[in-house]
């Protein structure tokens, strides 16, 4: 069984990720994690933090000389800003007078005064979190609600991607179907080896759409507004048989939807044609069954996005996620200051303008974690070679005419 957890705050010393149930014999090095963390930092729409955030990684256990041992893998990702925030985020009480930080952005001035954040931002966890946990300072909520946490999930996803790739060659790819009001004209489906995607600041293969997306983003930024987008993630090479129809919590599509929805700012998840399927006649919404010359089961289309009855059907898995516009809107929205009870404008701290591009990399990682969990459930072993052998045996086990 694959289990994973993260901990840590956005401006604390570090993030922590731990994953248990990883087979021995998987090849994984620091540079593999660093490459994925680098991908998450890239792209249009990011705020100032990503210009200097280094995501410095330490592997604390589970990997030795570039190979997993079967022990839980523990990962630490240092927050570059920690030296500046040590007093503000200290675990132990500090004298408020001692808190001195260079004035810079409005946010830093708030910190310099060590003023509790009391003007909750609509759309963030500030208000419901503060009421639920009885906090007077929204920082005690927003530090953990922050999508900084996704750096840890992307690091854990690196392990999952290695399991998928090294056991049966599964590859994932992500791109933007739309950014704000601009929709991609990309041919479908994007292949697994689409190399230009990482080079595109908006993960879009079509230069004209890319330019329109960038212009749209720029326009919203100049207007003091923020932007969302629709991310599409595909997994190629997933064998038939991951997940099950027999119980609600064993359905692959349900697990994928829940995990993708757990990414900060994701507000809808579609598998295959998703919402569009509901508008089509049934004859145009299913994937007719054929066999190729070698007798392999094939489909003439992939409306189902690779999953039927909660089970992978051998077609590419296609998942789309709607990422809402960033809730820290620079032209700050209406709120109430809970320190005074008066109408006010929401706190504004340094912020991204759009999360859709990094969300694409995060969706890949999260999808990889879910698929790796189901793969291990079906073909699990203690070592990667046992999993490979199990998969071969399972794939050869179909004696249908």
Q: Which residues are annotated binding-site positions for FMN?
A: 144-146, 264-265, 309, 324-328, 350
Q: Residue 232 and residue 316: Cα distance in Å, rounded?
A: 12
Q: Which run of H or E residues covers position 345?
A: strand 343-345
Residue 236: asked if its preceding bond is cis (omega within 30°), the reply is: no
Q: Are 329 and 219 in contact (CB under 8 A)?
A: no
Two tokens, residue 34: 């660093």
For residue 136, what are its two tokens? Answer: 């007077």
| Gap between the Cα atoms of 363 and 344, Å rounded | 35
Cβ proximity to ligand EPS: between 15 and 63 the closer is: 15
User: From the list ligand EPS, ligand FMN, none, which binds 174 (C-beta under 5 to 8 Å, kind-based)?
Assistant: none
Binding mask 134-173 for ligand FMN (x = CB under 6 A): -----------xxx--x-----------------------
Which of ligand EPS, ligand FMN, none interacts with 359 (beta carbon under 5 to 8 A by kind)? Answer: ligand FMN
Judged by CB under 6 A, does residue 233 bind ligand FMN? no
With a CB cutoff of 8 Å and minimum separation 6, the contacts of 85 are: 11, 12, 79, 111
25-64 positions binding ligand EPS, by CB under 6 A: 47, 49, 53
Contacts to ligand FMN from residues 102-141, by CB under 6 A: 123-125
- CB nearer ligand FMN, residue 243 or residue 358: 358
Site string for ligand EPS, 239-278 (x = CB under 6 A): -------------------------x--------------
Q: Verify binding: residue 383, ligand EPS, rule CB under 6 A.
A: no
Q: Which does 200 bind (CB under 5 to 8 A by kind): ligand EPS, ligand FMN, none?
A: none
Structure tokens at 358: 């990094």
Check residue 352 for interaction with ligand EPS (CB under 6 A).
yes
DSSP state for residue 295 in the 8-state scheme: -
> Which residue, 78 or 250, is less far from ligand EPS as judged by CB?
78
List binders of ligand EPS among 271-330 (CB under 6 A): none
Tokens of 162: 């290695």
Q: x/- contact string, 298-337, with ligand FMN (CB under 6 A)?
A: --------------------------x-xxx---------
Distances 44 to 20, 115, 179, 201, 355 between C-alpha atoms, Å: 34, 32, 11, 5, 9
Binding-site annotation: residue ranges: 40, 46, 144-146, 264-265, 309, 324-328, 350
- 181 alpha-carbon distance from chain centroid: 22
In 84-237, where do the E strands start and end? 171-179, 182-183, 229-236
Comparing CA positions, the residue from 330, 335, 333 lying closest to residue 227 is: 330
**CB atoms inside a 10 Å sphere around CB 275:** 10
Per CB under 6 A, residues contacting ligand FMN are: 47, 123-125, 145-147, 150, 263-265, 324, 326-328, 351-352, 355, 358-359, 362
């Amino acid at each position: 069984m694959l289990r994973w957890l993260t901990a840590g705050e956005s401006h604390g010393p570090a993030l922590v990720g731990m994953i248990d149930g990883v087979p021995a014999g998987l090849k994984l090095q620091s540079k593999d994690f660093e490459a994925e963390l680098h991908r998450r930092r890239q792209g249009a729409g990011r705020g100032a933090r990503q210009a200097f955030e280094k995501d410095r990684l330490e592997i604390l256990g589970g990997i030795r000389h570039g190979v997993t041992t079967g022990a839980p893998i523990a990962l630490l990702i240092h927050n570059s800003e920690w030296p500046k925030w040590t007093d503000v985020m200290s675990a132990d009480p500090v004298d408020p007078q001692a808190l001195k930080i260079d004035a810079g952005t409005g946010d830093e001035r708030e910190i310099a005064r060590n003023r509790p954040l009391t003007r909750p931002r609509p759309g963030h966890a500030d208000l419901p979190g503060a009421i639920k946990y009885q906090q007077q300072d929204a920082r005690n909520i927003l530090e953990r609600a922050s999508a900084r946490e996704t750096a840890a999930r992307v690091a854990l996803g690196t392990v999952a991607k290695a399991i998928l790739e090294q056991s049966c060659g599964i590859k994932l790819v992500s791109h933007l179907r739309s950014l704000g009001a601009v929709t991609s004209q990309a041919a479908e489906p994007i292949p697994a080896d689409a190399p230009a995607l990482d080079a595109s600041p908006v993960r879009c293969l079509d230069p004209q759409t890319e330019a329109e997306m960038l212009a749209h983003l720029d326009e919203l930024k100049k207007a003091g507004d923020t932007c969302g987008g629709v991310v599409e993630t595909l997994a190629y090479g997933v064998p038939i048989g991951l997940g099950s129809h027999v119980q609600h919590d064993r359905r692959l599509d349900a697990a994928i939807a829940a995990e993708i929805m757990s990414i900060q700012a994701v507000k809808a998840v579609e598998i295959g044609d998703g919402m569009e399927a509901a508008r089509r006649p049934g004859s145009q919404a299913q994937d007719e069954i054929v066999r190729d010359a070698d007798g392999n089961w094939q489909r003439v289309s992939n409306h189902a996005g690779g999953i039927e009855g909660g089970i992978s059907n051998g077609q590419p898995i296609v998942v789309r996620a709607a990422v809402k516009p960033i809730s820290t809107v620079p032209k700050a929205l209406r709120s109430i200051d809970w320190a005074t009870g008066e109408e006010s404008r929401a706190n504004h701290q340094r912020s991204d303008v759009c999360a859709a591009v990094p969300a694409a990399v995060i969706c890949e990682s999260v999808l990889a974690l879910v698929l790796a969990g189901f793969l291990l459930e079906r073909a699990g072993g203690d070592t990667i070679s046992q999993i490979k052998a199990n998969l071969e045996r399972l794939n050869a086990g179909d004696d249908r005419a």
